[in-house]
């Protein structure tokens, strides 16, 4: 049958290797993907594909780690050194910082193993192998199951298969993940290491240069890197932190290239991208824009303005709030850029054209028509049914569940599991106490009062929790008076209240505490709002899964990469400049010259301040072997590799499998990349590995680190 040209182009952009730079490809079946292998070789891959991933022999993927479950990293020494981004290590750096030892501002250098700093909550994860278990998982389902029954059966089988791995070997972790909207399932077998220590961090004037202003932007001049080390027991096996532990010896170490790159140089990225929604229907994208994204934009904007004001006023607050502000603002700006790009690039219009072609194909294909006749009407109906409640729930989550820290602490106390293993109980207690240490009650009070007002302006009265009625009746509508009383009377505003709860103090009834009473009101409203959407949400889940499968059947002759789901993926392409808009062209790399330009342009802005000793170092032009061909110092570069959140810290390799840099960001013009890939615009921003080494060597004078690295000659 005849398919509309625009729709054909759109599907090609979303689902096939129509562009060499598109795709977050699964490692486990890469050797079977002849088309992807051929394109990689044509672009410049010089190493055998089987040396990228081989569960039986050391391979490049053995040097790549999931860093903390939220970023990626790469092993660069025989003694377990790991390179990742500065913003990935930011929380750990912040936890070790104080006004007296401000590692955020001044950086950190361990001159010996004894000086390296432990991070109890941090872990790294190595992938050992993957396996397709789709048949086994789907065997637990039947065509007549309701979606809720299917989900329970699938989840149960995924859990069973995963547990079989650790039952056979307690040092391993088995995780089964869903792919292609729940139409396929793969097992990943991992080994986790929980003793990870901080080795090197540049000053934030390097690692966070430009902060929010430059976030998601190109050109970029941010030295976004930090260095950690993995420790093991003396048998090279995973072990909890102990002074007796020794540096871990990995299966494979990533070599480092000083040769740099040119326009068109091959580049591949290995890491753990978090999530994309490339196959989501237009109805789902529209809901995401108006719900979760807009809620983040509105609510976090209010919260962060209060945080930032106080961080700029006081050094102690800057250190306390640095990590949570960084995490919050990252997704806040991402949401702004995503919504803007979706509108500017007319993503919804393109999706709807593609869906129109799919409708035509279904109508003209008897077997499909019988199964999918009502697919689009069902999706449209059920998205409309939950539209208002889903939007309110997004604002509810941002305003309360992810809003005031007193609420977050109280919810954690309510859900504390005394029956867990002692190790887990201790770890959770430490985490709670760390949150108290990072809390400023005056700031949190102001945030809560502001968010109470913000939420009320964004939803109708039927979505207000019972707390608002209490404010009206007991406080005559005075939100500030209510908040003042709450923070004054709750025992959970300090660790003392937590201590009374944990010691089962008979004089302390946790359910009478006003903060807990508030949380119970919130839980009730949250449950009610979710219940309103149960039926429509199940229909949407089923419809999106069927929609995903139908698109793959429609284009059965193409290779499809699945959406990102926090499993290891390979993307590949070329180092490449781009034209962001008419009359402009952005080069593919930046140099330290741009640092001086931005310092002058943003004089007086703390986000662009750089210590004089660093500026003097750059001015000296003593770049040595780290200089480019013209004698300048490259800072960052861009490629058309396909990345998303979670890829931060991913290794960027050349065609020989040598490290070129570390991925750390995407670009503003293609912020809709989680729902559609725009090959002419989307770029992966990486910090040049030569700049990383220059900072470690010339600024940090950390010869102990440099001696460990395998620098390709």
Angstrom distance (rounded) from CA 655 to CA 712: 13
DSSP H or E stretch at residue 640: none
Give the chain's largest Cα–Cα span: 76
How many CB atoms are located within 10 Å of the residue 303 CB?
27
User: In which residue are the tokens 């002849």 written?
Assistant: 34
194 contacts 187 by C-beta, under 8 angstroms: no
End-to-end distance of the chain based on CA atoms, in angstroms? 56
Residues 6+ apart with CB under 8 A from 241: 118, 120, 194, 195, 231
Q: Which of 98, 164, 107 has the alpha carbon at shortest distance from 131?
A: 164
Angstrom distance (rounded) from CA 466 to CA 247: 54
Angstrom distance (rounded) from CA 617 to CA 596: 12
The CA-atom distances, in angstroms, between 295 and each of 130, 265, 304, 336, 464 are 37, 40, 14, 10, 16
31 contacts 49 by C-beta, under 8 angstroms: yes
As annotated, the active-site residues are 87, 224, 648
Rg over CA atoms, the chain: 26
Within 13 Å of residue 266, how many CA atoms lie on the same side as its CB?
Answer: 17
Give the total residue count for the chain: 713
Residues 6+ apart with CB under 8 A from 433: 495, 498
- Residue 637's SS3 state is strand
DSSP H or E stretch at residue 661: strand 659-666
Sign of CA dihedral 66, 70, 72, 76: negative
- What are residue 653's DSSP bridge partners? 268, 659
Burial (CB count <10 Å: 0-12, 13-18, 19+), residue 492: buried
DSSP 559-613: --PPPP-SS-EEEEEEB--B-SSTT--B-SEEETHHHHHHHHHTTT-GGG---HH
Angstrom distance (rounded) from CA 637 to CA 462: 50
Q: Which of 608, 611, 584, 613 has the alpha carbon at shortest distance from 597?
A: 608
User: In which residue are the tokens 């970029």 written?
Assistant: 220
Q: Which of 351, 352, 360 has the alpha carbon at shortest distance from 1?
A: 360
Angstrom distance (rounded) from CA 223 to CA 119: 22
Angstrom distance (rounded) from CA 269 to CA 281: 28
Angstrom distance (rounded) from CA 640 to CA 25: 15
Burial (CB count <10 Å: 0-12, 13-18, 19+), residue 497: buried
């Amino acid at each position: 049958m005849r398919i509309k040209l625009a729709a054909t182009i759109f599907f090609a952009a979303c689902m096939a290797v129509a562009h060499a730079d598109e795709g977050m490809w699964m490692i486990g079946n890469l050797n079977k993907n002849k088309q992807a292998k051929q394109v990689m070789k044509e672009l410049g891959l010089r190493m055998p594909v089987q040396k990228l991933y081989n569960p039986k022999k050391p391979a490049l993927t053995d040097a790549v780690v999931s860093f903390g479950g939220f970023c990626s990293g790469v092993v660069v020494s025989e003694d377990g050194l790991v390179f990742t981004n500065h913003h990935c290590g930011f929380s750990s750096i912040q936890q070790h910082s104080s006004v007296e030892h401000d590692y955020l501002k001044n950086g950190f250098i361990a001159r010996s193993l004894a000086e390296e700093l432990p991070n109890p909550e941090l872990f790294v994860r190595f992938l050992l192998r993957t396996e397709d278990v789709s048949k086994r998982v789907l065997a637990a389902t039947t065509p007549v199951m309701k979606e809720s029954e299917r989900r329970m059966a699938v989840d149960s089988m995924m859990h069973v298969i995963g547990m079989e791995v650790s039952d056979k070997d307690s040092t391993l972790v088995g995780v089964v993940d869903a792919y292609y909207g729940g139409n396929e399932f793969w097992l990943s077998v991992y080994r986790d290491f929980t003793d990870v220590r901080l080795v090197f961090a540049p000053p934030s004037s390097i690692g966070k240069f430009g902060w929010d202003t430059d976030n998601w932007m190109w050109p970029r001049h941010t030295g976004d890197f930090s260095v950690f080390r993995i420790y093991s027991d003396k048998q090279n096996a995973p072990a909890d932190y102990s002074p007796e532990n020794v540096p871990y010896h990995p299966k494979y170490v990533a070599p480092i290239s000083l040769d740099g790159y040119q326009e068109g140089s091959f580049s591949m990225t290995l890491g753990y991208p978090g999530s994309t929604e490339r196959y989501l229907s237009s109805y789902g994208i529209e809901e995401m824009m108006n719900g979760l994204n807009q809620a983040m934009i509105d609510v976090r904007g209010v919260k962060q303005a209060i945080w930032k004001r106080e961080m700029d006023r006081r050094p102690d607050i800057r250190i306390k709030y640095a990590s949570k502000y960084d995490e919050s603002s990252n997704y806040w700006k991402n949401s702004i850029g995503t919504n803007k790009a979706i509108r500017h690039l007319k993503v919804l219009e393109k999706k709807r054209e593609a869906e129109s072609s799919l409708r035509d194909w279904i109508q003209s294909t008897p077997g499909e028509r019988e199964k999918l006749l009502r697919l689009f009407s069902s999706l449209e109906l059920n998205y409309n049914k939950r539209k208002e409640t889903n939007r309110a729930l997004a604002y509810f989550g941002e305003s309360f569940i992810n809003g005031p820290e007193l609420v977050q602490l109280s919810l954690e106390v309510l859900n504390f599991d005394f029956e867990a293993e002692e190790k887990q109980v201790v770890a959770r207690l430490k985490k709670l106490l760390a949150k108290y240490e990072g809390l400023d009650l005056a700031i949190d009070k102001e945030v809560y009062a502001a968010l109470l007002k913000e939420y009320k302006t964004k939803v109708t009265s039927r979505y207000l929790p019972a707390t608002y009625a209490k404010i009206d009746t007991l406080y005559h509508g005075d939100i500030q008076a209510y908040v003042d009383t709450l923070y004054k009377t709750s025992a959970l505003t300090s660790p003392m209240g937590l201590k009374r709860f944990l010691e089962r103090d008979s004089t302390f009834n946790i359910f009478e505490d006003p903060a807990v009473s508030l949380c119970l009101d919130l839980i009730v409203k949250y449950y009610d709002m979710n219940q309103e959407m149960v039926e429509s949400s199940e229909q949407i889940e089923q419809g999106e899964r069927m929609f995903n499968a139908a698109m793959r059947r429609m284009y059965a002759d193409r290779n499809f990469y699945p959406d990102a789901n926090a499993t290891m993926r390979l993307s590949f392409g070329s180092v490449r400049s781009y034209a962001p808009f008419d009359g402009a062209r952005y080069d593919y790399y930046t140099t330290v010259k741009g640092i001086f330009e931005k310092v002058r342009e943003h004089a007086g802005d703390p986000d662009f301040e750089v210590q004089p000793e660093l500026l003097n170092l750059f001015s000296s032009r003593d770049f040595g072997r780290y200089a480019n061909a013209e004698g300048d110092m490259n800072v960052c570069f861009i490629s058309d590799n396909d990345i998303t959140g979670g890829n931060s810290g991913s290794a960027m390799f050349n065609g020989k499998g040598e490290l070129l840099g570390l991925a750390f960001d995407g670009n503003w013009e293609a912020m809709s990349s989680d729902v559609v890939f725009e090959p002419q615009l989307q770029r992966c921003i990486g910090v040049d590995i030569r700049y990383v080494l220059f900072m470690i060597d010339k600024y940090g004078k950390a010869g102990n680190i440099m001696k460990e690295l395998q620098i390709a000659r």
